[in-house]
Amino acid sequence: MAVLIRHKLCDGEKQFTMERQIIVQKVLERHGIHVPDVKNISRVALLSSGGGQRANISFLGVMQQLYKEDLLNGFLYVAGVSGSTWSMSSLYQNPTWSRDAEKATGEALLSMSEGTGHNLAEKLETRPLTADRDKYGANPYPLYSTVAKQFLDKPKEMWFEFSPHESGFLQHGAYVDTSLLNKNFDGGHVKPLLKKPVDMVQLQGMCGCAMGDFAQIIQFIKDIIWNWIFSADPDHYQDFSRSLKRVDHESWRNKTDQDKNTFVENLCDELAASADKWGQGPLDVPQSNIISNDGLYLNSPYPSVLGKARDLIISFDFSDGDPFETLKGATKYAAATGHPFPKVDFTELDSNQPRSYYVFEEKGKPTVIHIPLFNMDNCKNQETIKKEREEYTTFQQPYADKAKIDHLAHLAEVNVIMNKHYILEEIKKSCAATQLPLKMPTRASAG
């Protein structure tokens, strides 16, 4: 059977983690954390939330500073969704990127300010996800996650995980070898097909598109049209589309808000209908592709790490709006799927004045560290937090200003600098807790 039903780690991932723990052990020794038996090394997963370009840049800032603080190679896993997966896939071009992450992240940030992202995509195009397989554990093990489209509006979302060795649905533990993605199956067996394996560009489209939700696409189009209408010169109708030419400026100005909204809704429907008629082309997606970006739902890859294979979860939150929304989503997800998750008293959390570091722990459950991007420590006051959130919204044109990019990356770096000591303390505590006999780690599953 090409499709396997199981909740245990595959042999390839088990081998990887065994090799990786040796590297982690050496890093911990340098920080004064002595763990003689590699089996007692805490299994630490670093989470990076979605958030478009904001997440893309902030993730690079975090990785760069973790490397400078000699913390990066203390992690077993790195998991990302949405915008952060763009940075992940660019870094993992280099099979040993974490050995000189300062250079790798610096080049990635520079490519954004110079507008060379297209060239980067060309480099990634022919590189399959399976190229990240590494029996020596040189880099943290990458986990990319997303959600099945047909379950977006359901009470229980269906999460899909991509890893170098296996990919599949977390809820049912249904996996295939990642090299088989893009192939057809019949009765659980692979059908002969001359398709290439999933490459990094396809992965970015499935996991990293900040507009994976149709409702968000419609809203995005509406916003563009509204801005266009109110900024256009009514004396230059030739600049309007055929539909907008039919709108008399005076009558438009006298229309009610409801009438205006109805018009824009109808125009969006026409655009959507036209999109449905597009023929086969480079952007055409087959109906069999049921995967969509999950950054707009639970905006963090918690489903990939809420299993016994992870002892400590360090979540860097780059999402928009409420800095605790991903925590709320993770709590609900864990409750719905039966995964252990520490209790979080949300009445004690101030969304307008968040701190830079939170830790939630409970016996018999993974410890969760939560680090919001904009906080009272790196922004100093509530007014600055609000200003930064408005400056770095999710839906906007690509950042072209190097100063803007560098400033955002710096804010993310500061969060690492300020909390290095606390992170190491939790890793030390987690390693001490694993001194008891360990069971074989299992794949995160949705009960």
Highest mean pLDDT among 7-11, 112-116, 128-132, 417-421: 417-421
For residue 155, what pLDDT band results from cuts at 50, 70 and 90? very low
Over residues 243-248, the mean pLDDT reads: 52
Residue 316 pLDDT > 90: yes
Instruction: Give CA–CA dist 59/56, Å, rounded.
Output: 6
Residue 100 backbone dihedrals phi, psi, to 5 degrees: -145, 60
Q: Are 203 and 162 in contact (CB under 8 A)?
A: yes
pLDDT in tens, 3-22: 777 778 888 999 999 999 99
Question: What is the pLDDT confidence band of residue 206, given thresholds at 50, 70 and 90?
Answer: low
Span 357-379, mean pLDDT?
A: 97
pLDDT in tens, 133-152: 876 789 999 999 887 655 44
What end-to-end distance do the CA atoms of the chain give, in Å?
23
Contact 361, 427 (CB under 8 A): no
Task: Render pLDDT for 328-342 as a digit per residue (tens, 0 to 9).
Answer: 999 998 998 889 999
CA 258 vs CA 221, 240, 264: distances in Å: 18, 22, 10
Task: Report the pLDDT value the prediction gives residue 49, as an integer from 0 to 100.
Answer: 94
Q: In DSSP terms, which residues pair with 152 in a beta bridge?
A: none
Using 50, 70 and 90 to split pLDDT, how confident is the model at 175?
confident
* Beta-sheet pairing, 312-317 with 367-372: parallel
Q: Read off the pLDDT of residues 47-78 as tens digits, 9 standing for 90 and up.
A: 999 998 999 999 999 999 999 999 999 999 99
pLDDT value, residue 211: 42
Residue pair 309/442 in contact by the 8 Å Cβ criterion = yes
Rounded CA gap, 78 and 84, in Å? 11
Q: What is the pLDDT of residue 122?
A: 42
Tokens of 411: 């804010």
Q: How far is CA 168 from the centre of its chain?
A: 17
Distance between CA atoms of 266 and 389, rounded to whole angstroms? 32
**DSSP string computed for 322-372:** -TTHHHHHHHHHHHHHT-------GGG--SSS--S-EEE--TTS-EEEEEE
The answer to whether residues 359 and 422 touch, using CB atoms and an 8 Å cutoff, is: yes
DSSP 233: -
This prediction's pTM: 0.76
Give the pLDDT of residue 434: 76
Is the pLDDT at 210 greater than 60? The verdict is no
Write the DSSP symbol of residue 399.
P
Return d(Cα 441, Cα 447) in angstroms, integer: 16
* pLDDT at residue number 251: 60
Identify the residue with better confidence: 232 or 17.
17
Residue extents of the structural domains in the chain: 4-205+293-433, 214-276
Greatest CA span in the chain, whole angstroms? Answer: 79
Q: Characterize the bridge pairing of strands 367-372 and 189-190.
A: unpaired
| 213 contacts 152 by C-beta, under 8 angstroms | yes
Which uninterrupted H or E stretch holds 189? strand 189-190
Token representation of residue 26: 């050496």
Nearest to 85 by CA among 358, 291, 288, 324: 291
Query: What secondary structure does DSSP assign to 253-279, as a single string?
Result: HHS-HHHHHHHHHHHHHHHHHHHHT--
pLDDT at res. 198:
62
Whether residue 118 is predicted with pLDDT greater than 50 in this model: the reply is no
Choose between 110 and 305: higher pLDDT.
305
pLDDT for the residue numbered 349: 97
Q: Which tokens hold the place of 297?
A: 């739902």
Residues 6 or more apart whose CB falls under 8 angstroms from that of 111 comprise 90, 117, 119, 120
In tens, the pLDDT along 16-41 reads 999 999 999 999 999 999 999 998 99
Task: Please name the helix (run of DSSP H) or strand (run of DSSP E) that holds residue 19, with its range, or none.
Answer: helix 11-30
For 378-401, the pLDDT digits (tens) are 999 999 999 999 999 887 777 878
Looking at residue 168, what is its pLDDT?
Answer: 84
Identify the CA nearest to 366 among candidates 419, 416, 425, 302.
302
The Cα-based distances of 134 to 12, 79, 126, 294 in angstroms read 9, 17, 18, 27
Instruction: Read off the pLDDT band of 413 (50, 70, 90).
Output: very high
The CA distance from 35 to 25, in Å, is: 7
Displacement of CA 298 from its chain's centroid (Å): 10
Q: Say if CB 159 and CB 294 are below 8 A apart.
A: yes
Confidence of residue 374 (pLDDT cuts 50, 70, 90): very high
3-state helix, strand, coil in the chain (%, to 5): 45, 15, 40
Average pLDDT of span 114-127: 49
User: Which CATH number does 4-205+293-433 carry?
Assistant: 3.40.1090.10
Between the alpha carbon of residue 391 and those of residues 34, 50, 376, the distances in Å are 44, 17, 17
| pLDDT score, position 48 | 95
Higher-confidence position of 179 and 246: 179
Q: What is the pLDDT of residues 90-111, one digit of tens each?
A: 888 788 899 999 999 998 888 8
